[in-house]
Each structure stands twice: as structure tokens, then as C-alpha cells.
Structure 1
């Protein structure tokens, strides 16, 4: 997937998140300004542990955050059950004082804040942010050879955690949050070990409406939800960069990178029980372009892909599905197991995970997600289109 498609994919996700909620809410707007300090989760990666230009451990970073959001106000069943969540868009910067080999990245994202507890003076919320991080200084064999963490200037940004909001003046709250952040390019380019942060922020939020009045929500009757069944079909595609190492290349060169395309057809049967939850399972029929991939060297020294039979690329997976639903928008988690996998060269675990978002335009589906293994190593970023059928009954 090239950078233009990645930007399109993330732009669609952000617009879906905002449009889904804004269209059914009577919002109250706010602005947030924060400073964050982050600790970097250490790993076995030598670059983070001192094998870099500064010759010291890369252990922390800091930056600033600004957000424009809107607090839902109307008494829909979803808003009442979610304790009136807030949505919006944000910007955050990251500075690594130990080295300039990672660049000066920043992220543009959409966000969700939804309360566990809300009173007239404070709220305890869970938060979720999804977007695109830019301005990384990617690995380069000559210009930036030490960077074995990030191979792309543009990467996916995910943040989740908890937020405490305390009312200090009529329209102003003090915000404290703690969360984890992850940056990855979905194996669109190598290396892709990613960067993981534990982030704490302190800031202020200005509400354009009296904060204490936000706790006095209009309360409406929540009608009993008629449970329903749903059958959906989605088609997804993505690209990853495969690195061939020294021994795979007959010790002729250090490494060669090639791009391979993935296709996925998912069919799932789910049941929605209540306004906020869907559960079920399904089948993934996958064409893994990188399965059993091999190269050969041409007389001019270039390397080309060898043809691999389609039968060796096909994979069949079974997955369980859990969706958190907010009207037409949902966040999904799908752990799966490949019961058919013809990969013989680079054997990896058959267990895989799919974390994504979906937006329904009536019965049509637009979505995106990350497919990964080991709950940490992304295989590729996927863009989905699909359709659903549903019916009521037990």
C-alpha cells in the first residue's frame, strides 16, 4: 500500500468516526492543550539500547498536544449508555532528546473519550486515538543506517488509556491522562519493529459551555433493543514489504526488499445483543502474496521475484469476533487461527489478530484495520469494503 493509499485509508477512518457521531448529536465544543512525557518500552532492539549515533539508550521522549472536540448532548440510547462520550481531532508532537536519528515526528488523529464516571466536578474516562504519524527519519543504508526500528517516514498511530478531568473554573478543567502509544507502518516497508510508548500528559481543557451543566444531561427513555443477527461480507487488500536476508540470497548481498500484495475475503455471522455489542465469528479466505516468496538473481545483478503457485498463497482462517458498537461506527477485535497455511519457508505462528474499525452507510461497509501475529508484529494494513444482511429473531 503506497503512502497515498495509507493517507486515504486513515482519512476515511477519521471522517467516519466524526461523521458517525456528529450527525446524531447536539454537541458542546471544547479545546485541549497538553504537554506529555513518554517512556519508551525497551526491547531487544540494539538501536534503542545504545547502538545509535548518540551511543546511549533511547528511553524517553516529550511533546505537546492540541485537540478540538465536541461533547455529545442528545439523549439517544447510545449516548446515554456510553455516558455521553466526546469525539474530535487532534495533533501531538514527539521529540527524542537522545538522538535525531528518529526525526521529529508528529501525529494527526481522531479521538474518542467516554466516561466510566461523571459528576459535576470530575469525570474518569477511557480514551482512544487513531491516526497518521509523519516526519519520521526512516532507516536508510547510507544516510541513517543505525535506525533498525522505523523504515517509513509515515506510520500508523494508535493511543489508548485513561483520562481524569477535574473542573477548576466554570469552563475549564484540568486534564491528566495515562496511556500507551504504538507507531507502526504495517510492514509497508522495513524495518518495522515499531516504537511503543507509555505516555503521561497534563493539560487544560476549555469548554465553550459551562462544565457543570454538561453533567446535567437530558434523560430519555431507553427502549428495549431487539436483538438481531447479521451476516456480512468484506473484501480487503494491503501490501507489505518482505526483507530477504544474506543467507536467503546465497550470501551474495546483505538484503533485498520486495513488496507483496495481500487479499482477504471475510464472511462472518454475528449477533447484536443490546445497543453496544456484537459477537460472533467467521471465515477468512486469504491470498498471501509473501507466502513461500523467493528471489533469483539476473545476469545484470538485479533480483526478481520467482513465480509461486497460487495454491501455495491460499490460506483459510477461522476467527471469533467482538465489536463495540456506537450507532453506525464500531471497533472490532478478531482473533483467528489459520487452519490451512501452505507457508513452508518462513514458518510463523498460525494464530493471528485483526484490530480494526467499521462504518456502515446503511448496509454498505467501509473499514480499515491491522492484521498481525503475536499481538505485536503487524503483517499489513488493510482497507475493506463490504455489505451486510440482518434479520431479527432468536
Structure 2
């Protein structure tokens, strides 16, 4: 880890960092991104309204590390989320556990503007099921991913109390691990109240952050995923049809990157992949589903993409909009232009693992990629 010039030597343990409890309430709207929320449900009404409550435990960084200074002493922690929708009998009342990161864009002694990012797992959905909840094409499983992005204004009322307001976009999806999975998307304002249970102002003082020296690298990773396909016939049990089958997805991704700052990398990449569901025929025999994976020739794909990576300590947010430049035609083919967004964790200096959501039309999940790779 690069050190800082002019650094005052103060030993700070994790227990020395300030800790807060924060609660926020939201009341907003569902984005009408699929037919289920637009009214194709048992109530024959659009699902418009959404409200939620969240409780967070957060730690305040204190400039003891370079990345903390680069991000202007951000906050991070864990949160518990409870949501409620119109027509909850068909959707359920989701509960999420998530980690979050919040960094100031602008701040004074008592006021700050911050951006928030949260990522976790959601439970307690009433998911799609043939014969019982067949209208719910939005959520295909009882579990999903929770992704939350937002902005907030925060004001320090007193030594320990803060209030604030903001807005956030929240996406619920299982990454198409279980179909159908059109997802739930919400946009909602929020009000928050925060209390510092441990307040410590012991910060390391630095003359300045050292200039960053740009550098180049080649990132190479292999990935694996699964594509869920449901059976549309009526000659098998509904449980079997609802489960469907899983086709393999795997490949190799290569990115030539240049790290411009402590925070950002840009690059250009190419993926060579295999899509097992291409031109595959799903049939049934004796109550069981029979799949035939695509041949290597039929399933082979090549795509190119620009890449952006936001670096926060050892964790990175990866954004890669891509374009297929070669693949064979097959039925129900997704658009040539796709979007990949994910998280990457760096370890042992040059190795990393990651998880990416592969989507199209900017909101429809196609499948999840699990990556392991190395930087040269």
C-alpha cells in the first residue's frame, strides 16, 4: 500500500473508528418495466407504490489509509432492509441484508452531499410458480440480489445526531439464475436519522495525497455461469416444468487497462465464450426434461467492450457495455448489445475473483458470470 508524504504517525485500531446507527424511511414508486407490475396480475391493477425501512450500522473512516483520504473519509457498514409493495400477496414482503459504502462529494463541518451504494441478498419473496403465482414474471425465486444506488444530503444537528434526505434507485433480481426474472425496480425519496454511538475525531493529518503515476496492465479471467430455461409443454409435472433446466456458459475475458487515478481504470476488452443454450432443443420423456447442450460451433461467441473500473481499496465496481461481433443465429436470441456490471475483489497483489451480471436492454438480467483471474 502506497504511503503518504508528511504523514503524522498515529496508531489507530478498528475499535477507534467512529460508529453510528442510521435509520431511513422510503416511500416511492415502482418503475413499470414489465407486464406484471403494469397490471397483468390477479388484481388487474398496476403496482405503483412502494415503501421501505432500513437500519444500518456504519463505521466512519479516519484517514489512516490512503484510499480513505482519496474518498474523503467515507463510511461503510451493514444494513437490514424491509420493503412493502401494493398487492403484496403476489410479491411478498422482501427482507434484505446488505453491505454499503457512502462517500462525500462535498462537505463542510456540518453539511455533506454523499453518494451511496449498497449490495446484498433479499429473502421472503412470493415467487413465480405455475398454477399458483403464474402472473409474477418479475421474481422467479424466493431469494434475489439487492442493489441500491443513491444520493443523500446530511446535516449534523449536534455532536451525536444527524438528519438527512435523499433519493435512491433499487433493483431486485436473481440474475436469471431462476426464470422468469424481469426484476423489480424502484425509485424513492428517503428521510434518515443517524446517531453516533462512538464518536472519535482522531484523524491522521497529511500534507497532501501523493500524485498518482498512471500504469498499464493486462487483465485475464476465466468465467462460468448457468442459463435457466423453462419448459413450455404440459406433459410434465408443474414442479418439473417450473424448475426447468440449466445450460452451461463459460469463456475467457481479456482487458487491456490503464489506471489513470487512484480511483479509476479504463480499458478495452474482448471475450471468447460458449453459450450452451444456443440452438438447443428442450424435450420431455417419462416425466423428465431432456436437454441437449449446443455444440461448440453453435455456442461459440466473440464480443468486444470498453471497460471502466471504480477502485475502492481491494474492491472494484466493474462496468462493461459490450457488443457481440460473432455468434450464430438461434431462436429467442438476445440483442447484440449487452451490459455487464459487477464486483471484483483483489487479493495477493495481482489475483482477483468477481461476479458480474450479464444483462440486455439495460434492465433485463440474462445470467450471472463468476470470474477468477490475474493482472499482468
Same fold, judged at TM 0.5 (above): yes
Conserved 8 A contact 2:245-2:289? no
Mapped pair 1:387 → 2:371? no
Q: Distance in 2 between matches of 1:23 and 1:372?
A: 41
Change (3 A) 1:285 1:209: same
Aligned equivalent of 2:364: 377
Q: Distance in 1 between matches of 2:70 and 2:15?
A: 14
Q: Give unmatched runs, 5+ long, in structure 1.
A: 1-21, 390-394
1:217 deviates by 7.0
Pairing 1:246-325 to 2, within 5 Å after superposition: 257-298=244-285, 300=286, 302-325=288-311
Q: Give unmatched runs, 5+ long, in structure 2.
A: 1-11
Specify the SS of the correspondent of 1:100.
helix
Aligned equivalent of 1:179: 168
1:43 deviates by 3.4
TM-score by length of 1: 0.85
Aligned equivalent of 2:210: 223
Q: Which of 31, 34, 48 is the equivalent residue of 1:41?
A: 31
Aligned equivalent of 2:103: 114
How many residues of Structure 1 are paired with residues of Structure 2 in the alignment?
360
Q: Distance in 2 between matches of 1:282 and 1:33?
A: 41
Aligned equivalent of 2:71: 82
Change (3 A) 1:372 1:24: farther
Conserved 8 A contact 1:241-1:259? yes
CA RMSD, Structure 1 to Structure 2 (Å): 2.6
Aligned equivalent of 2:312: 326
Specify the SS of the correspondent of 1:95.
strand
Aligned equivalent of 1:335: 321
Conserved 8 A contact 2:105-2:112? yes
Conserved 8 A contact 1:105-1:134? yes
Pairing 1:147-226 to 2, within 5 Å after superposition: 147-210=136-199, 213=201, 218-226=205-213
Specify the SS of the correspondent of 1:65.
strand
Deviation by residue 1:319-369 (Cα, 9 ceiling, x = unmatched):
111111123221111111111112322232111111011111121101111
1:55 deviates by 3.7
Deviation by residue 1:224-252 (Cα, 9 ceiling, x = unmatched):
222111112111112121235469x9xxx
